[in-house]
Amino acid sequence: MKIALVGATGMVGEEMIKVLEEFNFPCSEFIPSASERSVGKELTFKGKTCKVVGLKEAVALQPDIVLFSAGASTSLEWAGEFAKNGSFVIDNSSAWRLYEDVPLVVPEVNGHTLAPEKKIIANPNCSTIQLVVALAPLHRAFGIKRLVIATYQSVTGTGVKAVKQMEDERLGIKGEKAYPWPIDLNCFPHGGSFAEDGYTTEELKLLHESRKILEAPELKVTATVVRIPVIGGHSEAVNIEFERPFELSDVRNMLETAPGVIVQDQPAQNIYPMPLTSHKKNEVFVGRLRRDNTVDNGLNMWIVADNLRKGAATNAVQIALMLKERGWV
């Protein structure tokens, strides 16, 4: 089993290495790859030193699975080259997510969309992944009519420069900025770039990707994305309007038995999901479950997950494991 990792030196790439090691992923050869400026650098995987290679060399080595975390332009240019060579490509960028013939996969939700002939597989946006893991069992039971979402997103979702900006601000250091405004002691409703209708690309991802994964093309979704000065994960305040009546006890039971979900919902004891406690965890945490009595069949919930783990690296590795379990690699 040959595994390649494109974007191995980036923040998500580094997390993918950790997750592969923690899952003890079966791998006879690990091929780290990155841009030309990183070629020759040394990385450690399972105690062994590996040198970073260029993309052409990585393609020629014919890996069984390629994990991509190097940006959309790199994925669009190179994913097809790997796929033509017989590799499965699991891409963490936005490049392939909305292509009709490319599976957009969260294993707990829609692993059935994987197929041996579909060599390029898209990893959804981090905010989408944690959302649908929590919503899928409820959607199957009660039918979701409308979602109103506000996300409170970690600076790690922007990358190393954003984390450095926040750390510099806390130390009073003037440095390179990833954001147009200070992030420490601040938050701003801006994730991605703004479209003509006033929504951002991060907000539109929640709309289009959740529709595709839940196989609900008419699902009504509206979202506001907010960037906040934390590093442990993304949080989401989610208001749901169901098609059918529900009992709160049934909702709780479904979530407690849903794969990949941990319910933390004892507000009287100050127990609820937080980025502080989701950091470095692979699960999706759900709490603050309560009815919305302003609409028929309304529910409020709070969802938190580490955006570098379940929101990126963990989900990609889980897809790779699913390919292995099905005997396709």
- Per-residue model confidence (pLDDT) at position 88: 98
| Catalytic option among 27, 50, 126, 139 | 126
* Two structure tokens written together for 74: 């790199």
| Catalytic option among 27, 50, 139, 234 | 234
* Two structure tokens written together for 148: 């109103």
Judge whether 126 counts as a catalytic residue: yes
Express each pLDDT in 299-315 by its tens digit. 999 999 999 999 999 99
Q: Identity (one letter) of the amino acid at 104?
A: L
pTM over 0.95: yes
- Per-residue model confidence (pLDDT) at position 35: 87
Judge whether 234 counts as a catalytic residue: yes
CATH number for the domain running over 2-123+312-325: 3.40.50.720
What percentage of the chain carries pLDDT values higher than 70?
A: 100
pLDDT mean across residues, the chain: 97
Express each pLDDT in 16-65 by its tens digit. 999 999 999 999 999 999 988 899 999 999 999 999 999 999 999 999 99
- CATH class, 127-306 region: alpha beta
- Per-residue model confidence (pLDDT) at position 36: 87
Contact status, residue 91 vs residue 68, Cβ threshold 8 Å: yes
| Cα-Cα end-to-end distance for the chain | 7
Express each pLDDT in 123-134 by its tens digit. 999 999 999 999
Spatial separation of the C-alpha atoms in residues 131 and 108, rounded to whole Å: 12
pLDDT at 257 over 90: yes
Per-residue H/E/C for the chain: CEEEEECCCCHHHHHHHHHHHHCCCCCCEEEEECCHHHCCCEEEECCEEEECECHHHHHHCCCCEEEECCCHHHHHHHHHHHHHCCCEEEECCCCCCCCCCCCECCHHHHHHHCCCCCCEEECCCHHHHHHHHHHHHHHHHHCEEEEEEEEEECHHHCCHHHHHHHHHHHHCCCCCCCCCCCCCCCCECCCCCECCCCCEHHHHHHHHHHHHHCCCCCCEEEEEEEECCCCCCEEEEEEEEECCCCCHHHHHHHHHHCCCEEECCEHHHCECCCHHHHCCCCCEEEEEEEEECCCCCEEEEEEEECCCHHHHHHHHHHHHHHHHHCCCC
pLDDT at 284 over 90: yes
- Per-residue model confidence (pLDDT) at position 203: 98
Domain boundaries, the chain: 2-123+312-325, 127-306
Express each pLDDT in 189-239 by its tens digit. 999 999 999 999 999 999 999 999 999 999 999 999 999 999 999 999 999
